[in-house]
Structure 1
Amino acid sequence: MKNHTPTGEPEDFTTSEGLRALLHRLHETGPHAWEHDPIAREVMAYAADKYAALARKHGLDPWEAASAAFDVMRARATRTADDPWGVVTHAVRITCIAEERGQGLLCSTHQARRPHVSAFHDPERLSDRENPLPDYHPAFHYTDADPTEDASLGGSEEACTSAGSAMEDAIALFTLLGWPPHIARAGVEHVCQALALIGNRRSAYETLRRDKHSRALLDISADAWTALLKALLGHPHPSYAATIAGRGVLLRLLIGEPLRVLLRDDDLVLMIALAAPSDGSRS
């Protein structure tokens, strides 16, 4: 495509040499050259047609790609480049990718160009998938340790030390929250022994929940017994498995949570304190 300049010289802006000459002339003409020059309008129509397929590939309108081409054509680096059309094509491709990522990430194109932002996946609604979120997201998956493994059976001295320390911290927690020391120690030790024998927190909870003999020996009410089991072993319902309430005090201590963190758990503290039995008598 050839057009004649005011001097009569042809400009074939479909080639890199012709585009360079056109860009230099428009730059020298002044800031309103792109608005009034007929060849400038033609080159923009040519750019829209040239990059239409690239724009559609990224879900954009061809004139959005032409707008990106217009922005880069006005840059000095494009006018002085060895291959101006190559520079324009590369810039339009990057802009189209950034526009698509920006629409997917619900952010601006400028932000989508940044690697630490574009690395994220597009947001999803919880209803976009057929299966519920807890069924496939690893953050909601938690299972008890295999009781056949050496570490879970307390085969090492380090494991025994950790378990013993967790038990003592659990006793201290109940004592600090108003439980008589001898009841707190007897209750926590009994639950730990049952857990070691059964090897699964949920199964241990169900077994101990029906153990009226142990509750009678501790001489505590059913509410206090239930609170003791929930606090130590966690809430038994599967929907609580990956939550703090489902983990229980013993597991939280074993994975490294200190006693001061447990004392800042208002729900846990309230449950234990309200269920505290009176010293030496059934509440």
Structure 2
Amino acid sequence: MSTPPRFTHASGLRRLLIELHRCPDGWSGPEAQALLAYCTERYRTLARKYGQSGEDAATAAYEALTATATRWARDPWGVVTTAVQRTLQAEQRAHGLLCGAERARHLMHAPVHDVTRFADNELVERDPAFQVTGVADEDATATSGVTARFVPTDEALAEAARIFVACGWPADVARGALELVCSRLIEAGHRRRAFEYLRRHPEAWAHLDLSQEQWTRVLTVVLGTQHPDLAATDLGRGLLWRLFVGQRREEISCDPAVTRALATAAPLSLEARHA
């Protein structure tokens, strides 16, 4: 019978967390990766209860595992479990209230009901004034001066990668970042969920050798600014959407909001600043 990993017990987890605190690079090592995988399975059922995935729970667990209080707690697993549950609850509440998770934490026990989404209202289906004909987004095409047409995913990704490269990104890193975003977007089925998951997931930016600040800039460019007031703008819709509806790479490359953000988020930019 194989011996269970030391982190399954409170004392072993505490020792591992102290080691990882002293050597942060250890989070990319096999034991730390095994710990995160263990958290994914340990909290998968709890995550499902709140409409989220085991990976979402593992992200919440990582945030708890890196906290000072967890390292020195008498029962570190108890601290992690409580933190994961509260984070999952806040995420579920945030989704219902259409606000950020931190804001939702403060409203957790407040008598505030979930937002009724406009698209879920029966009025949308009953009133002809709300019916939309055609498949083109007329507002988007009118403002951008392009014809809305379907752009195959591979073509859109290739064009997006070329924009990244033009802003100073290595081609393989650009492609890897875009594929990572797209894979999570497909799994989540919702841009905001994909954005929030990727923004908080340390393996994403660490794998690409980016800081969290750089990675957040990339997500904002690719998936759009997650602010409701900007939802109908190019800035709010993001790079992938603009390519999907047919905007040309040359046009997007002239957008300073895109090029400036990508250039400052390029993997070599931090090294250049310290050179």
Give yes or no for TM over 0.5: no
Which bracket does the TM-score occupy, shorter chain normalised? 0.3 to 0.5
Give the TM-score taking structure 2 as reference length.
0.43
Higher share in helix: 2
Give the alignment's TM-score, normalised by structure 1. Answer: 0.42
Greater RCO, CA 8 A, separation 6+: 2
Pair member with larger Rg:
1
